[in-house]
Amino acid sequence: METLIDDIGSFPLPTGVNREAFAKAYRQTRETILNGKDPTLDETLQRNFCSVVIDSFRRKVACGLDVVNFPQQYSGMRQVGDAVHEAMEQGSFVVDKERAILPEIYIINKHAKLLSEEFGKKIQLRVSIFGPIEQYLNEIGATAYPDVLDGFAQTINRFAKNAILNNKYVETTVISIDEPSLGHHNLSATPELIRETLEKAYDFSGPTKQIHLHFTSEIHNLLSVKGLDVLSFEYAASPRNIDDVPKSMLEKADKQIRVGVARTDIDAIWAELYEKGFSKPANEQLVEPQEIIAKRYKIAKEKYGERMTFTGPDCGLGSWPSQEAAQLLLQRTVQAVKQADKA
């Protein structure tokens, strides 16, 4: 089975774009869409949000990824959290269906025809959403209340369903529910409660359903989650993770795997280069050589075979110093995987 190349989501803002102005425009764009109006007709929103999103997405598509995550440039926690706070003011943890929207998806869909014609193909979209466990830990804490977890699961499910596009120009191919704290922060929930919570979040049809993890310690408890197709973990920066997930485990549970093969831990990369005497490393130095990425991919592919249906960078690129550096990493990852597949 072909291994598709995707990315985890976050992406730097363009040089010169003020983060506070972008965040303000994000929130205003969301309200504009909810009020049934077109944000691209507002000059301020068009300049500070809409054009930023579509230009950033265009850069990512140009890198050659098979499946492209929308450029997550607003806080991933607040994308859902802002709406949750509104619901909490009304006494609920469940966001109304019509308010569970991601403005980036609206903008990409609006420009889908132009993008499809520009790149000569139907755009395969990946949507990443911080999951119910991550949102719960951030908003409530480590003590698990089943009814509240249920509310967060319903909310994530509504965001996911509203992000599913399927028309002539763009299709939501993958929805990833990201749970980076799972297996690290101790939520006082049984494996059964976590499984039930995730199953409610994944209760939709159409796109492939991924879960993105930073830690593999709890991965065995996720194998029975109904609706979940692909388990995703970091390998490039955390080589030991691959030892925790044997192929036989995936086969028994009939699950697939996504393995991160290019390092994105920019702070550690900076530190390593600084120790070598590079105080101002160039993009070429920040991004690993293509041969190293290809070698990692080959090791993972040899281990998992047809079970490895996705690969790409370890994590998001929001903390990278520039869009050009992030682009180079995506391009080099694509080239490395394609080179390895031809060998």
What pLDDT score was predicted for residue 61?
98
Which tokens sit at 276?
């070598």
**pTM of the shown model:** 0.96
pLDDT of amino acid 7: 98
Number of domains in the chain: 1
Residue 289 is part of which domain span?
4-342
For residue 133, the model assigns a pLDDT of: 96
pLDDT at residue 184, rounded to an integer: 82
Q: Specify the pLDDT at position 315.
A: 94
The closest alpha carbon to 316, from 267, 263, 269, 270, belongs to: 263
pLDDT of the residue at 343: 79
The CATH number of the domain where 241 resides is what? 3.20.20.210
pLDDT, averaged per 10 consecutive residues of the chain (343 residues), comes to 94 96 98 98 98 98 98 96 96 97 98 98 98 95 96 98 98 97 87 97 98 92 96 95 95 98 97 94 97 98 98 97 98 97 88
Q: Order across the sheet with 170-178: list the strands.
A: 4-5, 308-313, 256-262, 230-234, 208-212, 170-178, 123-130, 68-69
pLDDT at residue 218, as a whole number: 87
